[in-house]
Amino acid sequence: MSLLKDSLNRRDFVRSAAGVSATLGMAGKALASRAKAQSGRVLGANDKINVGVIGVGGRGAYLAGEFAEIGEKTGACKVTSVCDVWQKRVTRQKEKHQCDGYLDYREVINRKDIDAVVIATPDHWHARIALEAMDHGKDVYLEKPMCHTVEEARQLVSTVRETKRVLQVGSQTTSGDQWNKARKAIADGMIGQMIMSQGSYHRNSEEGEWNWKIDPEAGPEGKGDNFLDWKMWIGPAQKRSWDPDRYFRFRKYWDYSGGIATDLFYHVVAPMNICWGEPQFPYKVMAGGAICVFKNRPENPEVPDREVPDTFHLIGEYAKGHSIVLSSSMANSQHIPGLIRGHEGSIIMVEHGQFESLTPFISVIPEKRVVNDEYKAKFGDEPIQIPVEKTETITVHITNFLDCMRSRQKPTLDVETGARAQVLISMAVQSYREGRILYFDERNWKVVAKPPRA
């Protein structure tokens, strides 16, 4: 039986606001009672949803703007608070949205008038803040990747089930129409037995990916808007002295990110899980890659630039007999089409560009030497273009989240689908770092070194 159908035990999971251990000893009736006591406000059809945005750097500020714009156009929501560990960001967003601002995320989730939180912090904080927010009766829009580890994915699935909160993973790519069209084409038999999915994510720049500009005035000793709460930012990660490169360029370091796998491959893996139709965890995962080009910091050639590879690839195999192959480099920009291969045909979802790039159609390419008369009678033996509705996916994705807050239905990228994507990419990171093939024991939600027993 799938672990998603079993009760998941949370009592051994240790979490805290800033890395201070606090063992949760609640289960059964006590946990149900707490969830009921801390359930969120019941939203009527015309009630405005109050949103708090936690983490208002580049991505978080963008999301705050999108929620605010949707609220202004429809009246569905309003950004009522923002939070960040850097005072300058708090000040800017507080003034922009005419709302309250905080340096401590607990100030947001403790507010009874907040209905939903948007979490756009570095990856190592995603799960902890989401778990606490749901425990306080908040629905959650959780920026991708969903979390940082396989165990955190398990806890998020468990907590959504226990608290009945709505959690939308913020990979807006999944709200594109092409995934559902591909899913239907597969279900209709247009590619026959599914064999392999493939995709890529390639970029190239002189300074290397994630080397964002450093503000030399910001830091734990900064005054006024320059103050940055480094201790809070580190949180559950390994304690370190202030390092602006780690703060401003966190995606280069294992403590806070999985690099290419978590930043980019999530945009590929999550929609593939929608296309496939049936819920599936990977059975076997292997990964490779290297730091090929960006070995030293652009402004200081004597200092190593990153821990994560600038070139990375993975293979994930599934018990139902198909696999996924993904490749990426931050030192070469040539793309590989995103497609799903079957014995009788292939579906091309992304012809050119990156995976979030929408095209006006998906293409189905029959395998002419294989298809039989029955197939030809249904679909013919020439390539077919299936029209795709052109939408602004971020607007669709956020609107879906807000609608689900009212209906209490599952959103497009719900926690369980998000967890299946997260397990693959987190295992790929572990495989790369350990230099070995890994297996997933779904029954016990464990990453293991040998194939688990059936």
Distance of CA 192 to the CA centre of its chain: 30
- C-alpha span between 203 and 329 (Å, rounded): 6
Percent of the chain topping pLDDT 90? 83
The model's pTM? 0.91
Fold of 175-209+257-391+426-448: Dihydrodipicolinate Reductase; domain 2 (3.30.360)
The radius of gyration of the chain from alpha carbons, rounded to an integer in Å, stands at: 22
Mean of per-residue pLDDT scores for the chain: 90
Is the pLDDT at 253 greater than 80? The verdict is yes
Is the pLDDT at 218 greater than 50? The verdict is yes
Ranges 74-88, 107-121, 317-331, 356-370: which has the least confidence: 356-370
- C-alpha span between 444 and 8 (Å, rounded): 10
What pLDDT is recorded for position 6? 40
- C-alpha span between 448 and 454 (Å, rounded): 14
For the chain, which residues make up each domain, given as ranges? 3-165, 175-209+257-391+426-448
- C-alpha span between 170 and 160 (Å, rounded): 16
**Three-state DSSP state, 402:** helix
What pLDDT is recorded for position 15? 38
- C-alpha span between 408 and 373 (Å, rounded): 46
Ranges 296-300, 403-407, 447-451: which has the least confidence: 296-300
Residue pair 322/138 in contact (Cβ under 8 Å)? The answer is: no
- C-alpha span between 367 and 371 (Å, rounded): 6
What pLDDT is recorded for position 351? 82
Question: Token match 């000893």: residue?
Answer: 25
Average pLDDT on 257-284 reads: 95
Judge whether 3-165 and 175-209+257-391+426-448 match in fold. Answer: no
Is the pLDDT at 18 greater than 80? The verdict is no
Is the pLDDT at 300 greater than 50? The verdict is yes
- C-alpha span between 132 and 15 (Å, rounded): 9
Residue range 44-102, pLDDT digits in tens: 777 899 999 999 999 999 999 999 999 999 999 999 999 999 999 999 999 999 999 99
- C-alpha span between 80 and 51 (Å, rounded): 6
What pLDDT is recorded for position 38? 58
What pLDDT is recorded for position 358? 60
Is the pLDDT at 298 greater than 70? The verdict is yes
| 138, two tokens | 């908040």
Average pLDDT on 137-149 reads: 97
Going by C-alpha positions, the residue among 248, 252, 249, 270 that lies closest to residue 260 is 252
What pLDDT is recorded for position 278? 87
What pLDDT is recorded for position 354? 57
Task: Calculate ∠ Cα 299-300-303, nearest 5°.
Answer: 135
Distance of CA 113 to the CA centre of its chain: 27
Is the pLDDT at 7 greater than 90? The verdict is no
Average pLDDT on 189-211 reads: 94
| 314, two tokens | 């993975």
The CB-based long-range contact list for 345-353 (8 Å cut-off, 24+ gap) reads 345/190, 345/191, 345/192, 345/371, 345/379, 346/191, 347/182, 347/185, 347/186, 347/190, 347/191, 347/275, 349/178, 349/179, 349/182, 349/271, 349/275, 350/178, 350/199
Phi, psi of 254 (to 5 degrees): -60, -30
What pLDDT is recorded for position 353? 58
What pLDDT is recorded for position 356? 52
Residue pair 91/101 in contact (Cβ under 8 Å)? The answer is: yes
Residue range 353-406, pLDDT digits in tens: 555 556 789 999 999 999 999 999 999 999 999 999 988 999 999 999 999 999
Fold of 3-165: Rossmann fold (3.40.50)
- C-alpha span between 249 and 209 (Å, rounded): 9
What residue type is assigned to position 89 of the chain? R
Is the pLDDT at 27 greater than 90? The verdict is no
Alpha-carbon dihedral 121, 118, 41, 235, rounded to 10 degrees: 0
What pLDDT is recorded for position 357? 55
- C-alpha span between 152 and 119 (Å, rounded): 15
73: which residues sit within 8 A by CB, 6+ positions away?
none
What pLDDT is recorded for position 360? 86
Average pLDDT on 135-140 reads: 98
